[in-house]
Structure formats: C-alpha cells, structure tokens
Structure 1
Amino acid sequence: MRLASETLGEGGDAPLVVAHGLLGAGRNWGALAKRLAKRRKVIVVDMRGHGDSPWSDDVSYPAMAADLAGTIAAEAGGRADVMGHSMGGKAAMTLALEHPARVRKLIVADIAPVAYDHSHADTLAAMAALDLSTITRRAEADRALAASIPNLALRAFVAQNLAIESGAARWRPDIAALAAGMDGLVGFPARFAHDSFAGPALFLRGGASDYVSPAMHGAIRARFPAARIETVEGAGHWLHAEKPEAFLAAVEAFLDA
C-alpha cells in the first residue's frame, strides 16, 4: 500500500521515517519532525487506515511493515532510520525483523515486542457509536463523547481524527478494521519469536508509563540484542508530546552516534 506522507528537510546519514501510534497521524509529529529535519531528511507517514492513507481490512503488523518497506524503497533510497511510537513502534520492530536490509537504525517509543492486556476497543466503540449526522463542529463531538470517553486528553486526541467537510463529519481512521484487528494490534506477531535484528536500536520508555516495564526488557533484547533502553523521566505513554526536549535530545544523540 502506498502511504500518505510528508517529507521535510534533506541531508543526514540516512532519511528518518516516522510511524505514529493508534488513532494518530503523521501531523501529530509536526513540530518534532520539523526540528529533526533541520539536519536530515524526515518522512512522516500516515499508517494504513489512518489519516490520509488508504483503508484495508488487514491492519496486521506484517502488512504495516510492508507499507513502511515500500515507503523506504520509494522515498528513502532503499534504507532508512525508522522511528515508531506505540502501534507504529510495533510496526517498526516488525519491519526491522522482516525487512532488516531496509533499516539502518531503529527507534521505538514506549512499546515492547510483547502482547498487552489492555485494549482500545472501548474507545473505538465510542467513536463508532457517535451519530456523525448530528455533528458539524468538533465541540459537538467532544460533548457527545464525554460520557463514553471521560478522559479529556484522550477525548481531545480522538477528536483530531474527525474530518468536517462542507458540514459533513467523518472519521479519518478505519474504525471497523481497527476494532476487528484489535487482538493483533495489542499483540505481537508470534512468527518472529526466534528472529532478531542485529542493528542499532534505541527503546525509549516514559518514566511514568507502564508500557515498558523491566520485566519486558528480556523480550526486547532477545529480538534486538544491540538495544539500548532509556527512560524519559516524568513522561507518560505520549512521551514525545509530554517531554519533547528530552525525547528529541535522546533521538538526535542516537542518530548522530
């Protein structure tokens, strides 16, 4: 699948491809991508079923990895540094394991190659249940979602996925496909249980997040033996948004090494 993408900057040792998380979009990385692009070419993608990229019933990590491999082949000269957050981090890990020749350096933000107990099914169900025919402004969607998504920050994040054109509202993400594929999205492909990526890898975890616990470090190093695991202190799961300076410093130090 050809992904929608935005390219910024030029130069550097290798282009940097950035993959967002579930219900995100490339535009979520706008400010950080611009700063990273001062010293290198940066390609920010919309993952399949998100943003302006095409929809597909297949939202598996191997499918997402194939999309990223295609982007690298078409827009990054065949090999790139790859950075992914959450869902995008799992897609980036899958890319490195399945298409290692496409990846020079790997950066994974607050996710591990393991299956998680949590699910975002309730959020997707709330989005699917919203009567879009009654929505003409994001503020109306916010009020309508308040009962089913009480967390204000999460609700604001979800609302960014609402497109309103000529008075008609629609969700940019493929809610049905993502909901149907949720078991795979919270998991990690079992077929890579004995595979590894030998290249440089940086795993950044939020100090206030429980997504990458010490118990998961073994699973990370089994598949990524050269991995460095670092903590962005005081950051939760959206560490790049909550602590952008610390996140940026860690990423640039790794890419420049």
Structure 2
Amino acid sequence: MQLFVKSLRFLRNGKFLTRTLTTEQNYAQQVEAVPLSSELFEGPKTDANTAPLITMHGLFGSKQNWRGISKALTSKTDRRIYTVDARNHGDSPHTSSHSSAGMSADVSSFLSTNSLSKACLMGHSMGGRTMMHFALTYPQLTDRLIVVDISPISIPRSFYEMNRIFDAMLNIAVPSNLPMAEGRKLVKEQMKQATDSMETVDFIMLNLRKKPDTGEFVWACNVQTLHDSLPHFGNYESELQNLKPYNGPTTFICGTRSPFMSPDHWPQVLKYFPNAEIHWLDAGHLVHFEQPQKFIQIVADFLNKK
C-alpha cells in the first residue's frame, strides 16, 4: 500500500498542534464521526498536563455504567477521566452505521474537540474493540491501552444468540398508557423469553425509556442498527490486517469464567500488542462489576506506572 500523509491542525492551550495521519488513519478519518456524549471526573490530584483516561462501555451499556469506577480512579490517579457513550448508545447520536472504524473516528473527533493531544484508552467488550482499533490506527494519540474482557481474535459462538434478544427488543409490546414501573415489569417478562440470563435482562433494561410526549416505550440504544451490524462483530480481525502493531503499554483484564477471551488467543494477541500483559480475575464478562476493587487497583497501578 502506498503511504501518504495528511496533516490536521487543532488548538490546545492557545497553540496550534499538528497531527500527521498515515494512509490507514486517513481512511478512518473519511468515516463520518459523531459527537460523543461524555462525563468528566476529576479528583484532588488531577493534573491537566497528564494524558486523561477515556473509557467506553460495551454493547447495550452507557457512560453511566462507569461512574463508580471512574470516581474511585480519580482518588488513585492524577488523570482526568472521561466516560463516553458510544454512537447508537446512551445520549450519543444514533446513526445507520456501527463499526469499530466509525467508533474509532468518533474517539479521534472527541480528542480534537476537547483539545487532547494524547489519551489513555479503556474499553469493555465492544468498547474494548473500539479502543484496540483506535490504538492500532492512531498510535501517536494513544498513551496506553486497557482492554476489558474481549479478544481481538474471535468471539464466542454464543454471542450470535443475541439475535433472539434483538428480536425481542424490536418487538416489545407495551401500552403507552401504562406508567413506567408497570411498563418495565411487562417488558422484563417479554425479555425473559429471549434469554435465560437474568444478568443480561437486567443490564438491557437499563436502556428502557418512556417518551414524555407520547408515552411510547423505547430503547435508548439504536436497536435496529446494532442488530444489523451483528454479523460484523465476527469479522473484527479482518479490520486489523493492514494496521501495524501498537507497541505502547497495554493491559488486558479478563474474567476466568467469561468466554470472550481464551488463553489460547494470547500468542496472536501479542502480534497486535507486543507490549501487552494480561490479568485474570475470578469473574464473568462484567469483570469490573463482579470484582470492582481488584479491577480498580489493576487499572490504577497501570495508569500510575512510569
């Protein structure tokens, strides 16, 4: 592939800085970025000159899922911490596309908008794949990388059972005249027909909203687009083939009872992230919820490492 560069200038502290983009990075820039809704956390030791941490949730999640973790980290590190809603989730815009390249472009735009020349990145599941893609595409913008319970190599076969969950979400039937509490009970019963995992049902139910003008029950996440993008989750590694390895500090934090990372993947993972380490916690996929104290300490130690 022929290499060419493109320079972007952005303002920081009253001075213009220049980014130089390679072919792959320029390609990602061509994906239309959306402005991400975010929340900023700062603590007593916050240093504005230190690269902040940007955290992205997983599928069906939102920035609210990371408030407790973020508040705890502000007391253990000197970094500003931003949590963001991925496109098609939470308070961020809904679009007709949903891909790691698009979400990487969103994060790049977020850095520019907030005059950040470099950032630490943390992502869980879908967010982890976004942040891996970003680090491989924009290594000069990445200070260090934290990936939570997801592999760049493959996803478990059970993930494709999500079709039943999406179908149930797309076909909820709730009278608009019901109050929120009663409507939630009815939707929850309908969702139970799609999965045996009450943990999954409870997590998805955090997305249920009721329109104030019509009373209609709707989902905060863009269910149709997420459903349509489901087949692409299995083709993730093909998106990385033309990207050079990210050589910066990287840590993976995974659950021993989760199917989303296998020890067998590790030799292949190191081809993309040669300076990576891995921590295994006694947890399932929501490792940060199940083992919050151990998780926070691992992240804090990694962010504080010189």
Change (3 A) 1:82 1:125: same
- Give the match for residue 146 of structure 1: 192
Change (3 A) 1:136 1:57: same
Q: Deviations over 1:17-53 (max 9, x none)?
A: 0000000000011111111123321100000000010
Task: Tell me how far apart the structure 2 counterparts of residues 132 and 62 of structure 1 sit (CA, whole Å).
Answer: 36
- Give the match for residue 252 of structure 2: 203
Q: Deviations over 1:156-199 (max 9, x none)?
A: 11100011243332111111111111111243141422521010
- Give the match for residue 69 of structure 2: 32
Task: Tell me how far apart the structure 2 counterparts of residues 97 and 132 of structure 1 sit (CA, whole Å).
Answer: 44
- Give the match for residue 122 of structure 2: 83
Change (3 A) 1:101 1:80: same
Could you say what secondary structure the match of 1:105 adopts? strand
- Give the match for residue 225 of structure 1: 274
Please identify, of 162-171 and 90-99, the stretch whose mean Cα deviation from structure 2 is larger. 162-171
- Give the match for residue 3 of structure 1: 36
C-alpha deviation, 1:121, in angstroms: 2.0
Pairwise mapping of residues 1-257 of structure 1 onto structure 2 (< 5 A)? Answer: 1-9=34-42, 11-12=46-47, 13-38=50-75, 39=77, 40-75=79-114, 77-116=116-155, 117=157, 118-119=159-160, 120-134=162-176, 136-137=179-180, 138-166=184-212, 167-194=215-242, 195-232=244-281, 234-257=282-305
Task: Tell me how far apart the structure 1 counterparts of residues 126 and 198 of structure 2 sit (CA, whole Å).
Answer: 21
8 A Cα contact 2:87 2:93, kept in partner: yes
- Give the match for residue 17 of structure 2: none
Q: Could you say what the CA RMSD is over the residues aligned between the two structures, in angstroms? A: 1.6
8 A Cα contact 1:202 1:230, kept in partner: yes
Task: Tell me how far apart the structure 2 counterparts of residues 163 and 141 of structure 1 sit (CA, whole Å).
Answer: 11
**Matched residue type, 1:123:** I
Could you say what secondary structure the match of 1:228 adopts? strand
C-alpha deviation, 1:132, in angstroms: 4.3
Q: Deviations over 1:37-72 (max 9, x none)?
A: 233211000000000100111101000011011112
Query: What percent of counterpart residues are identical?
Result: 29
Q: Deviations over 1:132-165 (max 9, x none)?
A: 4456422221123222233211111110001124
Counting matched residue pairs gives: 256
Could you say what secondary structure the match of 1:246 adopts? helix
8 A Cα contact 2:151 2:260, kept in partner: yes
8 A Cα contact 1:136 1:169, kept in partner: no
Task: Tell me how far apart the structure 2 counterparts of residues 189 and 54 of structure 1 sit (CA, whole Å).
Answer: 26
Please identify, of 247-256 and 31-40, the stretch whose mean Cα deviation from structure 2 is larger. 31-40
Task: Tell me how far apart the structure 2 counterparts of residues 217 and 96 of structure 1 sit (CA, whole Å).
Answer: 18
Task: Tell me how far apart the structure 2 counterparts of residues 84 and 249 of structure 1 sit (CA, whole Å).
Answer: 16
Could you say what secondary structure the match of 2:236 adopts? coil
Task: Tell me how far apart the structure 2 counterparts of residues 175 and 76 of structure 1 sit (CA, whole Å).
Answer: 32
**Matched residue type, 2:304:** D
C-alpha deviation, 1:242, in angstroms: 0.6
8 A Cα contact 2:174 2:186, kept in partner: no
Could you state the TM-score of these two structures normalised by the residue count of structure 2?
0.80
Task: Tell me how far apart the structure 2 counterparts of residues 65 and 128 of structure 1 sit (CA, whole Å).
Answer: 27
**Matched residue type, 1:205:** C
Change (3 A) 1:130 1:196: same
Could you state the TM-score of these two structures normalised by the residue count of structure 1?
0.94
Task: Tell me how far apart the structure 1 counterparts of residues 117 and 171 of structure 2 sit (CA, whole Å).
Answer: 42
Please identify, of 178-187 and 93-102, the stretch whose mean Cα deviation from structure 2 is larger. 178-187
